[in-house]
Amino acid sequence: MNIQWLGEKQSNNSSLVGSKAATLSSLFNNYNVPLGFIVPKNYFLESTSNDRNITKDKEISEAYKRLSFLADTKTLGVAVRSSSLDEDGSSNSFAGQHDTFLNVKGESSVFKAIIECSLSSSTLRASKYREKLDLESNNAQIPVIIQQMVPSEVSGVAFSSNPITKNNNEIFISTSWGLGESIVDGIVTPDNHIVDKVNGTIKLSEINRKDIMIIPSENGTVESDVSPNMKGMPSVSDAQIMEISDLLMRLENQMRQAVDVEFGYHKGLLYLLQCRPITTL
């Protein structure tokens, strides 16, 4: 099966590219989703069933070159993420169970990251997660999304239904400086915001001290100290809170279910990085 591109019709097929990639592809033409392509399930089977020693692939090389050209960058930094067929579904998310690689640059490094990500469904961590959820074991090579890396100055996660209070009339937003992995990995206490979906007002903005942020490095990411004058500052404005809230409302209405999203701001633009059904309600 050939490489697929976000926004193409065939990329909306979750049985081919996985739920995460299919959702992003279906949203690509109407939302600010970073450019990217998808390596479909079992792409490497003709070469090997379980071999991390493959060093190159012509189609992936051409896709990375095309992505770099579209992004107008010679050596583009990309985010490489899994999109397992049962990942980001209505009953389980697999959040953090498969490998993720951020700000990967250069053909050889990108290819290595794709191989590792594709084979990460067979890791002990992922296998134990499947066992916990009583899911079938899966040693298949999973689909992988390769997207233009957004070097976000501010990132966050948000829920169109409050997962803490179980209130469907509240949007819950967490934000912090730098890339969103600082929130996802729990290394920072983010700012938390609650928006009333009925009257469109901000019910709560809890501003916390944010000492650490994750930022892009030469090839990858690194933890960095937040400058003293920014540690206690709000990471987003009220206008940005309402912009994120509007994005959540649009997505919930389009997908006809409560959603959990990851987003980032770069040079003032809001990017949609991931969107999945909420699995904790």
- Structure confidence by residue, pLDDT tens digits, 129-158: 444 545 455 556 789 999 999 999 999 999
Give me 267's structure tokens: 């040079």
- Please indicate whether residue 212 or residue 281 has the higher confidence score (pLDDT): 212
Predicted pLDDT at 89: 46
- Ramachandran class of 80: left when φ > 0, alpha when ψ lies in -120 to 50, beta otherwise: beta
19 has pLDDT over 80: yes
Average pLDDT, the chain: 88
% of the chain exceeding 70 in pLDDT: 84
What pLDDT sits at residue 136? Answer: 55
pLDDT at 265 > cutoff 70: yes
The pair of three-digit structure tokens given for residue 69, joined into one six-digit string: 């050209």
Pick the CATH number of 4-148 from 3.20.190.10, 3.30.420.40, 3.90.1310.10, 3.30.1490.20: 3.30.1490.20
Beta bridge pairs of residue 205: 193
Q: Between 135 and 86, name the one with better pLDDT.
A: 86
What does the angle CA 180 – CA 185 – CA 189 come to, to the nearest 5 degrees? Answer: 75
Section 239-268 average pLDDT: 97
Considering only residues 137 and 226, tell me which one the structure prediction assigns the higher pLDDT.
Answer: 226
**Banded model confidence at residue 53, pLDDT cuts 50, 70, 90:** low
pLDDT (mean) for 70-84: 92
Which pTM value belongs to this model? 0.88
Q: What tokens appear for 275 in the block?
A: 């969107």
| Coil, helix or strand at residue 88 | coil
Q: Where are the domains of the chain?
A: 4-148, 154-277
Q: Which residue has the tokens 């095309």?
A: 66
What is the 8-class DSSP label of residue 54?
-
For the stretch 156-188, pLDDT in tens is 999 999 999 999 999 999 999 999 999 999 999
Confidence of residue 51 (pLDDT cuts 50, 70, 90): low
Is pLDDT above 70 for 253? yes
* Residue 163: burial class (beta carbons within 10 Å; 0-12, 13-18, 19+): middle
Burial of 253 (C-beta count, 10 Å sphere; 0-12/13-18/19+): exposed
**Percent of the chain whose pLDDT exceeds 90:** 73
Helix (H), strand (E) at residue 148 = strand 144-148
- Residue 118 banded pLDDT, cuts 50, 70, 90: confident
- Cα(46)–Cα(126) distance, integer angstroms: 24
Which has the closest alpha carbon to 239: 274, 199, 270? 270
Which CATH fold would you assign to the domain 154-277? D-amino Acid Aminotransferase; Chain A, domain 1 (3.30.470)
Backbone angles phi, psi at 274, to 5 degrees: -150, 155
pLDDT higher than 60, residue 87: no
The whole-angstrom separation of Cα 262 and Cα 276 is 9
User: Which of 59-63, 89-93, 114-118: highest mean pLDDT?
Assistant: 59-63
DSSP 258: -
The band of 46, judged by pLDDT with boundaries at 50, 70 and 90, is low
Rounded Cα distance between 88 and 21, Å, is 10
C-alpha span between 22 and 108 (Å, rounded): 26
Q: How many Å apart are CA 121 and CA 7, to the nearest integer?
A: 25
What's the mean pLDDT in 255-266? 96
Q: Which two tokens stand for residue 41?
A: 């399930």
Yes or no: say if 130 and 243 are a contact pair by the CB < 8 Å rule: no
Q: Confidence class of residue 58 from pLDDT cuts 50, 70 and 90?
A: very high
